[in-house]
Amino acid sequence: MLIELENIVKIYNQGRVNEVTALDKVEMAVEAGAMVCLKGPSGSGKSTLLAIIGCIYPPTSGRAVIAGRQLARLPDRFLTMHRRRTIGFIFQRFNILPRISVFENVVLPLLPLGMSPKERRALAEPLLERYGIAHRRNFPAGEISGGELQRVAIARALINDPPIILADEPTAHLDSRLSRDFLADMLALKEEGRTIIMASHDPLVTEAAGVDRVYGVHDGRVTKDAC
Ligand SMILES: Nc1ncnc2c1ncn2[C@@H]1O[C@H](COP(=O)(O)OP(=O)(O)OP(=O)(O)O)[C@@H](O)[C@H]1O
Ligand SMILES: [Mg+2]
């Protein structure tokens, strides 16, 4: 299994008055090449689950193995290195920086890696072409259309060629046509063999072509729903 979660618990602010159990004994296994959805109401734990799968932080307890590495065993800087190699993130609202250019947004995840500008260009240009944003490469990202922004977010998630793509409510700010375009792009990435995990309550996402399974998330607990 590419992603294995056993008895995962995530507690924020442990031991304080504002303690929250965001994930409670989560079991999940995702095989390489699958496309799965996490579906649940606001506050149910979807983003927390994506953060653990995305190697942003380890669980409070439980066993999380992501692409061959057990998270709790990794010191912080190795967790970060593992994330950079393994994960592409597409955030809700896309987290694009509006004042810097499209090109600079796409190469942002490469900056800590100490590559030369030439190496960064070599990785970015094919993605700018693939996603139809090459003609916008020098535009401030705040001055392009919603559909273009969405494709900048996809290009940025792919810049390190990750096997796992995570998308958090990716269609929340898209109309239905752009949502369908986004899902077609995700299906193409699945067909390349990448593993896709999307958190969403949008039926366009949870019922999209290529979705193998939908997990229900409620109060930090995860159930496997019939798709
Ligand atoms: N950094 C944090 N510190 C403390 N509590 C947090 C933190 N992040 C999330 N929580 C809490 O953990 C629970 C799960 O939050 P999470 O963001 O994972 O839910 P979600 O399903 O993604 O919600 P939404 O659909 O609104 O994005 C919520 O009760 C939330 O308030
Ligand atoms: Mg969320």
CA-proximal residue: ligand 1, atom 11 (nearest): 22
Q: Among all chains, which residue has been given the structure tokens 């290195």?
A: 81
CA-proximal residue: ligand 1, atom 27 (nearest): 42
% of the chain beyond a pLDDT of 90: 89
The 3-class secondary structure across 115-155, one letter per residue, is CCHHHHHHHHHHHHHHCCCHHHCCCEHHHCCHHHHHHHHHH
List, as one string, the DSSP characters of 185-215: HHHHHHHTT-EEEEE---HHHHT-TT--EEE
Between vectors from CA 36 to CA 63 and to CA 169, what angle results, nearest 5°?
100
Ligand 1 lining (C-beta closer than 6 Å): 12-13, 20, 22, 40, 42-48
User: pTM for this structure?
Assistant: 0.95
What is the mean pLDDT of the segment spanning 189-201?
97
Give the Cα separation of 166 and 120 in Å (integer): 22
The pLDDT of residue 21 is: 98
The pLDDT of residue 72 is: 86
Per residue in 141-184, pLDDT tens? Answer: 999 999 999 999 999 999 999 999 999 999 998 899 999 999 99
Cβ pair 103, 137 in contact under 8 A:
yes
pLDDT band at 27 (very low <50, low <70, confident <90, very high): very high
DSSP 40: -
Q: Residue length, the chain?
A: 227
CA-proximal residue: ligand 1, atom 2 (nearest): 12
Cβ pair 64, 5 in contact under 8 A:
yes
Cβ pair 83, 53 in contact under 8 A:
no
Q: Which fold has domain 3-225?
A: Rossmann fold (3.40.50)
Has residue 188 got a pLDDT over 60? Answer: yes
Residue 45 Cα to ligand 2 middle (Å) = 7
Of the candidates 190, 193, 209, 199, the one whose C-alpha atom is nearest the C-alpha of residue 166 is 199
The pLDDT of residue 34 is: 98
pLDDT band at 74 (very low <50, low <70, confident <90, very high): confident
Give the Cα separation of 175 and 186 in Å (integer): 16
pLDDT band at 227 (very low <50, low <70, confident <90, very high): very low
Per residue in 112-149, pLDDT tens? Answer: 888 999 999 999 999 999 999 999 999 999 999 999 99
- CA of 94: how far to CAs of 86, 174, 227, in Å? 19, 11, 27
